[in-house]
Structure 1
Amino acid sequence: MNQFFSNYIFRNIYKFIYKTLTPKAYKHNRRFWPLYQVKRNANGDLQEVYFNKTLVSTNTTDILNTNKKCMLIATGPSIKTLDQEIFKKIDIDYIGVNGAISLNEIKFSRYIIIDHNFIESRFDLVQKVLDTNCIFFTTPRCLDAILRKVDFKNIACQIKTIETIKDNIVEVFLNKEMRIETNKEYFFFRNNLGFSENIFSGVFDYFTVAYVSLQIINNLGYKQVYIAGLDMNNFNNPRFYENIEDKQSTLLDIHTHDVLNAFNTAALFFKEKGVCVFNLSKHSAVDAFEKIDCNNI
């Protein structure tokens, strides 16, 4: 308890000093200085993250896929309606987000969490992810929230750190926020909405981790993608792993129009690349991807 209190005091002192001495464009780093250091390549892509001089995240190692097909497990209530046998196929790599880890029968090869509020409210589920040998993609703020709670030496998964792009602005880790150059060859734009082919230069965040996940999935090179639990409706209902008492709030009901348009952009991108994407949620509001019955997998 004394150590926690001491760390809390020092972190707040650091934040005050950083906020006082740095311009507004750097303010998003006030939680990180001086505990973190980063290394980037010549193009500015994030490569390594150090916490207290210990390497905690590396984006430089190759990520090899077991299969050419993957399944993204989102957290809509429709998960409960699917035949659980689809989560046990040996020719599919499973990729989870947020509370999907509560499906104990699935062995996740990749996992993605970008919501720091989820980490604070459901750390019991985050801990389950950290205890696996998956490759875990997260943001600087989420990484910091985790390292406040867990000693790095006790984390089993391999961490990759990504920076999110909102309104075409990226809050660069340990540098100032920047407006992206939308004409970069690795940014795909349709209808003023972006999709990133280079996830370590930034990923577009349109209010849902599922969209970020599709950019990561593309970077991993899968040719056939199934999405389970991508409902995007009935927002008053708990997610499949929640109940009424522990249900987290959501902004998706406010931003549904933008989110659906973003998925349309993703669908256009995948079509151009010859990647097949299927939505397993029969009544999903997302019509960008072909809906199929899980029995047809």
Structure 2
Amino acid sequence: MGSFFKQVYRYTHPRSYRHNENLWPYMKIGRATTGEINQLEYRGQPVPIADLSSLKGKFSGPIMLAATGPSVNEIDFTQPPLPVPAFGVNGAWSLSKFFEFSFYVIVDMGFFDKKPEIVANIVAARGLILFTTAHGIARIIDRIGLGNIQCTLALIEDAACKIYQSSLKPHELKDFYIKDSSTAFTQSRPDIGFSTDIRQGIFDAGTVIYWALQISLYLGFTELFIAGLDMNNFDKPRFYESQSEKQPTNLKGIFTNLVLPAFEHASLLLKDKKIRVINLSVNSAIPDYIFEKVSYNDAFFKKN
């Protein structure tokens, strides 16, 4: 039946709507006047989702973003406990034995497919806000069940591929969002944007940490510590993987042309807003002029 509906959708919709084909007709949405999806129904069931407007500027101070680069294994999280709230991405969940995650973001559908046991643990965490897309929510419900979701789901969208709207090609992004004061693009790249209001969509740069930066700013945090932002040694497994279970990554191929200029763009915007970003990976390929590099111990526990 799913294949039938997919074929019907392809026949009745332009190619620019193809990103919706796995959701139609199972998912129904409603949008707030501020643009975000605020009502969600999937396979006939209402799905509770966070009110994104209520999260705007709700928090303050520092937060730690836990990425998944190999350098995380060089950090001793055992003593003393982490003194700031934590925001995880993808497989960073294994750090939950050291501290409690308050926020999480997964936007890679391949991660849902390949690491279902990690996803199950994340959605079972009470008090956690999980930011993910409509496709991510569909996968969670299909595989884990709506009744087993204990976390709060916060529905976010790729600014280039909004649900039941036409997708945008990279070169079309700047022209489309030019009148939106919450978005900013580089002068030379119409495909590299950054949003200060996630209700309007979040810009992708090939890495989930770029999403986490935009979400953290929206939530109100003013000091962002990032662990595992290595962006080198791509042949090595992520900190939570063994060599035998290492999943492929395309970051090496897009680092110079996309990831690096996107982080440089984000750095300028965040500095302009007086938001400090500290890269706890001291050997990261992201230069100091983009994000200041400080070791974990010096950042949190060095005595004055």
The answer for unaligned runs of 5 or more in structure 1 is: 1-9
- Structure 2 residue aligned with 1:4: none
Q: CA RMSD in A?
A: 1.8
SS of aligned partner of 2:226: strand
**Among 26, 32, 35, the residue aligned to 1:35:** 26
Structure 1 or 2: more strand by fraction: 1
Contact 2:82–2:99 (8 Å) recurs in 1? no
- Structure 2 residue aligned with 1:281: 281
Structure 1 position 183 matched with structure 2 position 160: no
Cα distance, 1:229 vs structure 2: 0.4
Contact 1:239–1:247 (8 Å) recurs in 2? yes
- Structure 1 residue aligned with 2:133: 139
Q: Give TM-score scaled by structure 1 length.
A: 0.90
Identity of aligned residues (%): 34
Structure 1 position 259 matched with structure 2 position 278: no
Cα distance, 1:160 vs structure 2: 1.0
Structure 1 position 56 matched with structure 2 position 47: yes
The answer for unaligned runs of 5 or more in structure 2 is: none
Q: Give TM-score scaled by structure 2 length.
A: 0.88
Q: Where do 1:2-81 residues align within 5 Å?
A: 10-60=1-51, 62-63=54-55, 68-81=61-74
Alignment CA distance shift 1:77-1:149 (3 Å): same
Contact 2:194–2:266 (8 Å) recurs in 1? yes
**Greater shift in the superposed pair: 213-222 or 32-41:** 32-41
Rounded to whole Å, the distance in 2 between the matches of 1:27 and 1:112 is 24
Letter in 2 for 1:119: F
SS of aligned partner of 2:243: coil
1:118-176 deviation digits (Å, cap 9, x = unpaired):
110111111111110210001122222222211111111111111113xxxx2221232
Rounded to whole Å, the distance in 1 between the matches of 2:117 and 2:50 is 26
- Structure 2 residue aligned with 1:271: 271
Cα distance, 1:66 vs structure 2: 6.3
Aligned length: 283
Q: Where do 1:113-192 residues align within 5 Å?
A: 113-133=106-126, 134-165=128-159, 170-178=160-168, 179=173, 180-191=176-187, 192=189
Rounded to whole Å, the distance in 2 between the matches of 1:286 and 1:182 is 28
Letter in 2 for 1:157: C
Rounded to whole Å, the distance in 2 between the matches of 1:57 and 1:268 is 36
Cα distance, 1:17 vs structure 2: 1.6
Rounded to whole Å, the distance in 2 between the matches of 1:212 and 1:250 is 17
Contact 2:64–2:227 (8 Å) recurs in 1? yes
